[in-house]
Every structure is written in structure tokens, then in C-alpha cells.
Structure 1
Amino acid sequence: MSQPTFHDPAVIATGLSYAWPDGTPVLDGLDFSVTPGRTGLIGRNGSGKSTLLRLVAGDLTPDAGQVRIRGTLGYLPQRLPLDVELPVDVALGIAGPRRALHAIERGEVTEENYAAVGEQWDVEERAQAELDRLGLGHLGLDRRLAELSGGEAILLGLAGQLLRGPDVLLLDEPTNNLDTGARERLHQAVTEFRGTLVVVSHDRALLDLVDSVAELRDGEVNWFGGNFSAYEEALAVAQEAAHRDVRVAESDLRRQRRELVDTQVKLARRQRYGQKMFDQKREPKIVMGARRRAAEQSAGRLRNEHEEKVRLARERLSEAELAVRDDDEIRVDLPATEVPAGRTVLSLMDLLPRYADPLGPRVDLELRGPERVALVGPNGSGKTTLLRTIVGELGPVAGEVHAPVPIRYLPQRLDLLDEEASVVANAARFAPQATPNALRARLARFLFRGARADQPVGTLSGGERFRAALAALLLAEPAPQLLLLDEPTNNLDLAGVRQLTTALAGYRGALIVVSHDRRFLAELGIDRTVTLGR
């Protein structure tokens, strides 16, 4: 990787426009440039962050505009397109030179093998060093990807990108599925990266490692110097000023309206007096007519003047309101999910899930009433497997699962939704007895209003897709009294995490959540924590 110069932009996007196949615009004429250093790209779900990264990476073709990259490019998407049957060395991109190197060591000294190795005589040592740095030293280069956890797959993808030594590196939600230790190793790798890095993330700790924040909002990019904490402070100051401007503009509009009313009353009073004088004919008709016309012209000017003041006051209020952020929140009341305090909702007795160590500890767990349990543990400890066992997707090797209440499970990959169907059609699958109007009214509370409810799921952003899946589960019939969530904040921006927290505030059943997001768990009101893999 070449040493960057910290002046010229390393990424230049001009006039970028892109729309989904159904015509929904995502970006329209966007100009975006990034200089060397670490940049955090943030924005609400659906604002186009991942789409922008995919356009820069060449994974999508813009409808208009172009992207120029100075140097070599690396890209780690949210969803790694990895074939589970591939070995680790293929995923790292070193299988060719590695095979050629082994062939030469066996005596197959051919021109083709030397060309395949090139300058990479230490390819295995470098690969192993990168794996060690990211906590994957236990992986053999011949191991199959099917044996890796979701977190290990992400770190492996990052290792592959870092081995290529890119000048520009794009990371899209890289801490998804990572446990605490893995997150810390990824944070360290980000800190040590020398070049141009653009990261989309909801991980506050990761965003506090960047040099600048680029916020994509309403189709434009606004830049803030410093890390995410500095961005929040600057935003708080700006929003306080914006709210103050709104209050001033509202006060001015009320004053202008009062003055307009007062003026209209005075003019009406003056008009009545003039009419009275005219009726009494105290002066010559021609004089009184001239006075009436002059009074009407004066009244018209005065009325127009005050109406113009009201219009300008309204415009000032509208401009002030535009600066105030209105990030909608999900607030739902779900009484049908309520569970009495003493009722048993789940019993796990001497449970040995599939893929677990046969000599490892068995799982015994009992949930009563609306308990909220955090299921934690390192990557590969079996958290997702346990959730799938509870809902019956996997049969246990030994032990029993007893759940006498309706259960719903939201997996990491959100694959419970039909990509081709609309949001409202997906919700109808889970609540077939509900009328279309009732479903739309409920979905509106999850921020799918009007035409948004008719949008195909396949065109939604990661956060919108999550919101649609959550709505389908919480509005299901019968209502879930035990809800299982597997890394629910992975696809959410920071506003989305707040929306999820407020949505779950209206959920009255029992909850088991797998998450490495400590702040989210604290805000969720967890009653107890169960740790696997100890």
C-alpha cells in the first residue's frame, strides 16, 4: 500500500444518481469526495449509505455521474457473498500463489508456477500474521467456511482485504455479529490502517476512531470535523439553535397575525364611519367619493403590507423548521403480548443443542412472565444455534424444550420475509385474519405509511427491512408472548436503534436477545444475562 498524501481526494464522485428498478430514487446528482484518513459515513436507514459505498466500489452502476478512485480499492460489504464450501485460503484470495508455492516446494519448477507466486513467497506467513492479528489464528488455511461463525466470516473478509493492501478501503457495518473481543481487534485494525478509509457503522466506539464524519441526509453530504462524539456535540448545538430559531419565528408569526387582525378591525371600523358620512351627505358627493377611493387604496396598501409580513413570517418559520430534525420514532402499544408475572414461558432442561461440544455444559433455563434475558458469549459459542433450537428449527442432541406460549424468532439474516412481496403483503402472511385497513394502520405506527407499505421488501434498506420484519412479528396473530432477537441492531443506524428500543418498550411479553451492543442492552432493561461458552 502506497503512502497517501493528505491533500488530494482519494475518492471523487460527481453527479451520482441512482434509482431502484421500480424507479424509487436513492441518490440524485450527488457530489462526494473523500481525502485520506478515516471517515465515518452515517445517516438514517434508507438514506443511501450502503448504496453509495456500492457505487464507489463498482458493485452498482450509477444511472448518471461517475466515480474516480486514486489508488487500489478494497471493499467489505455487509453481506459477504461467501460459498460455505470454499476453504479459507480461497476467501483470502491467496489460493493461487499458495498452490504454486507448494508445487515448487515439491519440485514442480515451472514457469507457470513461478509466475503464479510472483513476489508472494511469504504469502502463507503474511496470511497467518493477519489472521493472528484479527484473532483468527486458530483457523487453518484449508478449513472450510461452513465451519466459521458469522463473526469469524466478517473478520476473515477483512483479513482478505487487508492482505491486498488497498489504498482506499470501504467497510459497511463491519462490526455486525462480532463479539466484544473481535470488535476490539477490528477497532485496532482500523486505527492502524494507513490510507483512505470510509466506514458505515452504528458502532459508536468505532465511529469515535474516525477523523471526520460525513452525514448523508436528504440526498446531500454534510461534513463534520472530528469523531462521532464531536459530531453529536456539534449537532446538539446546531439543534438547540434551530429550536430557538423556530420559537422566535413562531412568536414573530403570532405577532404579525395579531397586527393583521388589528389592522383589519381598524379598517372595518374606518369603512363603517366613512359609509356613515357618505350616507349623511355632509360634503359634496364628488369630494366624498374621492375620499372613499383614497381610503380604499390606503386600506388596500395597509392590508397588503400586513399580509406580506405574515407571509414572510410564515416563510421564516418554515425555513427554521427545516433545520430541526424530525427523526420519527416507533411507539406502539401491544397489550396482546402481555404475559402474567408468574407464568412460565420457556423451560430448557438439560439441553444439548446440535453442534455443541458433547462434553460441554448443558443448558438449563427457565423464563417466567415478561422477563428480558440477554444471551451473550464469544463468536461460535452457539447463541444462534440455541435460539434456533428453541423455535424448533434444529432438534437438540439431548434434553428438552418446553414453550407453552406463542413464539416468534427474528434471525440475523431477516430471511423470513418474501423479497418480491410488499411490506403489507408480508405482514398479512403473519396476520391472515386482519383486514387490509387494519394492517395498514398498524404498519403506519412502524413508519410504513401510504405508498411505503406497498414497496417490495427487496428494495428496502437494511434498517427498513428490519423494521418490516419486526412489524410482521409483533403484529402477528396470535401475538408473540416470547420474542427471540438475534443481533437486532446489526442493520440499524443510530436512529434505528432508538426506534427499536422504543418499539420494544411497548412489547409486554418475554424477550431473549443476542447482542454485543452493551448500550442497547442497557437501554432495553435486561433483567438477567446468560453467558454461553464459558
Structure 2
Amino acid sequence: MSASLTCTSLSFAWPDGTAVFEGLDASFGPGRTGLLGVNGAGKSTLLKLIAGQLTPSDGTVRVSGEVGRLPQIVTLDTRLRVDEVLGIAARRAALHAIEAGDAAEEHFETLGDDWDVEERALAALGELGLGHVGLDRTVGEVSGGESVLLRLASLLLRRPDVLLLDEPTNNLDVYARRRLYAAVASWPGVLVVVSHDRELLDLVDRIADLRSGRITWYGGNFSAYEEALAVEQEAAERMVRVAEADLRRQKRELTDAHVVLARRRRYGQKMYDTKREPRAVMKMRRRTAQESAGKYRVLHEEKLAEAKERLDDAVEAVRDDDEIRVDLPFTAVPPGREVLTLRDLELVHGTRARGGLDLRGPERVALIGRNGAGKTTLLRTIAGELDPVAGEAAAHVPLRFLPQRLDVLDDGLSVAENVARFAPGATDNRVRARLARFLFRGARADRPAGTLSGGERFRAALAALMLAEPAPQLLLLDEPTNNLDMASVRQLTSALESYEGALIVASHDMPFLDSVGVTRRLLLEEGELKEITTGAVGYPA
């Protein structure tokens, strides 16, 4: 029987009472499904409910077969060996014991028929570009992107019937993304992927659009979804215009009705005052006129109410998703101002960044390189979080660093309390006013940071960064588009376009790098920090 998963009347709320789903129904069959929705819509929560990592308050999740999930943020114990991450350590140890001549029965029971366990593991690593990573190495020796690929390799070895991927291309370089695309394209079972990577989403068979606690289905990939959505929105906006015109007409007719009724009342009163007809006849005429007037008024008021309801329905069908509004502080840097000096750096973990860099004025530098090249280590060294083993890394202006893992937030504190830590001189009102522009309004600003989705966590971290004192004249961003929906990426791009300070951004998101107007491109490769002068952001084909 083919694998499938079904959610029936699914409800879930956070401990503070914030509802995520109420009576959600959804069914995912064989094939690839792209799960879309704005940040905070509940995409990651739904995947956790399906995987059994969260318990619904009501409803059921039924899955036929084994479920495997790649989380949005992969955190692995740095002491683990690669074979432990892949889940083959016990079988591998049993195999080695047997090969060494130990014929104990428990070794054969542990190994089963999996005599080629090492070959399969190395093949899975090779498929994802990790052929250089030995099974005995530890997680602490690999990069963040490589740890994501390790977790994916463990899933490929398990071959679960249902595979859930939450922003799988985060932290992956161009080469690793291509390997992930190939794995997704050939996946034989049920696959549900949450992503803002357009190229990945164009590999899916259908789109599940999660909005306001409900799923709307669209056949085809992301490009087909965009076309269908554009047609829907054009029709919805047209219906709004029709409904608005109808509402204006009903208001005019109701006003005209009131004028007619007032005229009739004046005429009836005049007839009554002049006593042109018998008293009984006039009373009957007045009562009939009042009844008729009442029905006439009620009819038009009902038509007006119906017109308002149609307008409300039409407006609701038009998407007007909230987007973050990032107001960057005044951070102008004069063109000749010395911002950063790097000289022949030798970094921790054995990473090198030989060569120099002089950053002056409001330059925008794209830092690119393969997973494990040392980009994050270099940024952390510039930010002062790590001391260089040798060489010089000197910043000459106030700087702020937004790390890849967004670990600047204290999960036990609320969003507002986290932001206040970075700006102790700011009033609570100012903190909350700034947070409102990042869509943390009212009670949302009091949510613990540990309950936030990936995109919400990014917004909270960015708010803390921007409100920090002193205002940054050099921004260091490490994979800033990870976990962001497409609307938020557009807003971040718009904000950075208006930023007047210097910028260094490490990213594998080439469209994003192109959009923020980088002026220099640095490639960190094989321990060398080299400037690319070809004008192309990215790697060789």
C-alpha cells in the first residue's frame, strides 16, 4: 500500500492560548508537495505535529509508514561521530568486530543482513558532496551546511515512507543545493517541503497554501501556483470594485428612499390637517402608508447590509499579508571613511583567510564560498566573538552581527525583553513601537522567544540588532534569508537598499545578493580570500 498521511479536525494552540490550527483537515498522498505560508502561519508546527513531536489539542494525524523529518534548524551534538548521526554506529561496530574475528551472536543480531552498511553510508555521503567526510569524524569538525547534509544523509539511508523537509536549503552552497534538488526529484514516497527556494519549489507536484489555519490546494509547481494566484487575485480585486460600486448604489437608493418617505409623510400630514377626507379614511391611509414606508425602508436597508457583506467577502479574498517594515537608523558612512581592516588571518578551527581587505565607506561585500570554507568563522572573528590565531581583524566603526543560528536571543525571555537587552536606554514604549513594525504587536511582543517560528525569530533578532545602541555603521549578516518567507525577503532587501552603512553578507542566495547591490565579491576558497572581478555573483557551473 502506498504511503499517505491525513490530518483530521486538527487543532493546536501554544501554552499561552495562541491558536495555530482549529479543525484543520488535510491529506498528503504520494508525490512532492510544497507547503507555503507566511511566517507564523504554522508550517513548521504542522510538520512537527505530523512527525509526532507535538501533540494536537484535538483531532488526529494518521500516517501509513515511517516518517522522517529534517528540521528547520539542525542542532547536533558536536561530540557525535558521523556514523552516529547516520544511525549506523552499532551496526558498523558489529561489522568491525566480526571482521576482527569476534563471532559473538549479538554482533550478528545487531548487523542483520546489512553487510554493506559502510558502503551504503559512504555512497549516501558522496551523493551529497560529503565524500571527504569520514565516518569517524565528529560533528564539531564540519560546517553548519555540512551538518544539514549529514542529517539529510541519515534520512536517505533510512528511506522513510514520508519525508518532511523544513527549509532544507538553508546554509547549503550552490553545489549542495543541486544535490538536494536531485534527491528531492527522485524521492519515491510522500514528500512535504517547506521552503522559500523557488528552484526547489519548482520540483514539486502540487502546492498546499496554508493561510489563516486552512489549506488551499493548487496543482503544479511554484511557477504554476504564482500564475494561478495572480489570476485569483485579479478576479478578487475586480470583485472588490464591483462590490464597492454596488455598495455606493445601495447607499444612494437608501438615501432616495428616505427622501421619498419623508415626502409622503409631509403629504399625508397635509391631507390630515386640511381634513379633505373622512377621519377614518385618513387614518387608514396613514397606517397603510406607514406600513408601506416601513417595508420600503427595511428592503433597502437589507440590500445595503447584503452589499456590505459582499464587499467584506470580496476584500477578504484579496491578499494583503502583513510585511515587516525595517526602519534602519541613520548610519551614513562617508566614502573615504575607514571601516574594516583584514590582514593575513589565521582563524580558529584551522581556517585561514590569507590576503587582505580594506573596507572603506558604504561598500557592500558579498562573502561567498563552499560549505565549510570558513565564512561564519571569519564573520565571528570580525565581530570580535573569536580571536584570530594570527593576523589582524580591526573594525573602525560600530558594528552588529546577525548570526546564522540567531542565537542572540534568550529563549526564556519575551521578544520585548530580548530587544530591551540590546538597548537598555530605550523606554518600553519605544521598544514596543519598534517591535510593532516587525509585526510583534500587543501580546505577540510578550511571547517567549523559544516559541517563535524560524521567520519570527529572525524578525525578533533583526529588531534587536537595529534598536541596539550605538547604531551599527557596519552590518555583518550570515545567511540572512534563511527561514524567511518571500514577502519578508523583499522587505529585508528594501531595507538594505536604504541602509547607508557598510555591509558584509555571507549568503548562498544568489538572487538576494544580486538584489542588494553588492559592490565587491569575495570568495573564501582553500584558505584564500580572493576578490572576484568577473561581475558574477556565485560559483562556476
- TM bin, normalised by shorter chain, reads over 0.9
Q: Aligned partners of 1:333, 1:471: CA distance in 2, in Å?
A: 10
Q: Aligned partners of 2:322, 2:137: CA distance in 1, in Å?
A: 46
1:75–1:169 CA contact under 8 A, matched in 2? yes
Deviation at 1:297, TM superposition (A): 2.0
Deviation at 1:116, TM superposition (A): 1.1
Of 199, 216, 241, 2:210 maps to 216
1:331–1:506 CA contact under 8 A, matched in 2? no
> Which residue of 2 is the match for residue 352 of structure 1?
346
* 1:462 is the counterpart of 2:454: yes
> Which residue of 2 is the match for residue 406 of structure 1?
398
Q: Which amino acid aligns with 2:354?
A: P
Deviation at 1:356, TM superposition (A): 4.6
Q: Aligned partners of 1:340, 1:440: CA distance in 2, in Å?
A: 32
Deviation at 1:78, TM superposition (A): 1.9
2:410–2:449 CA contact under 8 A, matched in 1? yes
2:351–2:374 CA contact under 8 A, matched in 1? no
Deviations 1:234-278 (A, max 9, x none): 111111111111111011101111111122123223323333343
Q: Which amino acid aligns with 1:36?
A: P
* 1:368 is the counterpart of 2:351: no
Q: Aligned partners of 1:88, 1:458: CA distance in 2, in Å?
A: 28
Deviation at 1:434, TM superposition (A): 1.9
* 1:159 is the counterpart of 2:153: yes
Q: Aligned partners of 2:369, 2:207: CA distance in 1, in Å?
A: 31
Q: Which amino acid aligns with 2:357?
A: D
2:204–2:221 CA contact under 8 A, matched in 1? yes
Deviation at 1:506, TM superposition (A): 4.3
DSSP-derived class of the 1:337 partner: coil
Give the CA RMSD over aligned residues: 1.8
1:375–1:530 CA contact under 8 A, matched in 2? yes
Q: How does 1:101-116 map to 2 (within 5 A)?
A: 101-116=95-110
Q: Aligned partners of 1:38, 1:362: CA distance in 2, in Å?
A: 45
> Which residue of 2 is the match for residue 480 of structure 1?
472
Deviation at 1:388, TM superposition (A): 0.6
1:332–1:506 CA contact under 8 A, matched in 2? no
2:328–2:495 CA contact under 8 A, matched in 1? no
Q: How does 1:512-531 map to 2 (within 5 A)?
A: 512-531=504-523
Unaligned runs of 5+ in 1: none
DSSP-derived class of the 1:448 partner: coil
Q: How does 1:133-144 map to 2 (within 5 A)?
A: 133-144=127-138
Q: Which amino acid aligns with 2:390?
A: A
* 1:453 is the counterpart of 2:450: no
Q: Which amino acid aligns with 1:167?
A: D
Give percent identity, aligned residues only.
Answer: 65
Of 268, 273, 284, 2:267 maps to 273
Q: Which moved more, 1:117-126 or 1:17-26?
A: 17-26
Q: Aligned partners of 2:459, 2:47: CA distance in 1, in Å?
A: 22
Q: Which amino acid aligns with 1:364?
A: L
Q: How does 1:145-294 map to 2 (within 5 A)?
A: 145-294=139-288
Deviation at 1:357, TM superposition (A): 4.5
Of 380, 387, 410, 1:388 maps to 380
Q: Which moved more, 1:499-508 or 1:83-92?
A: 499-508
DSSP-derived class of the 1:28 partner: strand
Q: Aligned partners of 1:40, 1:391: CA distance in 2, in Å?
A: 37
> Which residue of 2 is the match for residue 88 of structure 1?
82
Q: Aligned partners of 1:54, 1:346: CA distance in 2, in Å?
A: 43
Deviation at 1:233, TM superposition (A): 0.9
Q: Aligned partners of 1:503, 1:281: CA distance in 2, in Å?
A: 77
Deviations 1:94-150 (A, max 9, x none): 111111111111110111111111011011111111111110000111011100001
Q: Aligned partners of 2:145, 2:251: CA distance in 1, in Å?
A: 60
* 1:322 is the counterpart of 2:316: yes
Deviation at 1:409, TM superposition (A): 0.9
Q: Which amino acid aligns with 2:521?
A: T
Q: Which amino acid aligns with 1:119?
A: D
> Which residue of 1 is the match for residue 500 of structure 2?
508
Unaligned runs of 5+ in 2: 527-541
Q: Which amino acid aligns with 2:227?
A: E
Q: Which amino acid aligns with 2:310?
A: R
Deviation at 1:178, TM superposition (A): 0.2
Q: Aligned partners of 1:182, 1:159: CA distance in 2, in Å?
A: 12
2:340–2:357 CA contact under 8 A, matched in 1? no
1:350–1:364 CA contact under 8 A, matched in 2? no
Deviation at 1:335, TM superposition (A): 4.5
Q: Aligned partners of 1:348, 1:477: CA distance in 2, in Å?
A: 25
2:253–2:300 CA contact under 8 A, matched in 1? yes
Q: Aligned partners of 2:64, 2:37: CA distance in 1, in Å?
A: 25
Deviation at 1:29, TM superposition (A): 2.1
1:373–1:526 CA contact under 8 A, matched in 2? yes
Q: Aligned partners of 2:35, 2:434: CA distance in 1, in Å?
A: 32
Counterparts in 2 of 1:357 and 1:48: CA distance versus 1, 3 Å? closer
Of 80, 93, 100, 2:94 maps to 100
DSSP-derived class of the 2:525 partner: coil
* 1:439 is the counterpart of 2:431: yes
DSSP-derived class of the 2:39 partner: coil
Counterparts in 2 of 1:484 and 1:264: CA distance versus 1, 3 Å? same
> Which residue of 2 is the match for residue 30 of structure 1?
24
* 1:429 is the counterpart of 2:421: yes
DSSP-derived class of the 2:503 partner: strand
- Give me the TM-score of the superposition, normalised by structure 1: 0.94
Q: Aligned partners of 1:128, 1:271: CA distance in 2, in Å?
A: 93
1:212–1:226 CA contact under 8 A, matched in 2? yes
Deviations 1:144-169 (A, max 9, x none): 11000011111111111111122221
Counterparts in 2 of 1:490 and 1:333: CA distance versus 1, 3 Å? closer
Q: Aligned partners of 1:103, 1:34: CA distance in 2, in Å?
A: 43
Q: Aligned partners of 1:375, 1:161: CA distance in 2, in Å?
A: 30
Q: Aligned partners of 2:413, 2:351: CA distance in 1, in Å?
A: 40
Deviations 1:21-54 (A, max 9, x none): 2222222222221111111111111111111111
2:72–2:454 CA contact under 8 A, matched in 1? no
Q: Which amino acid aligns with 1:266?
A: V
> Which residue of 1 is the match for residue 525 of structure 2?
533
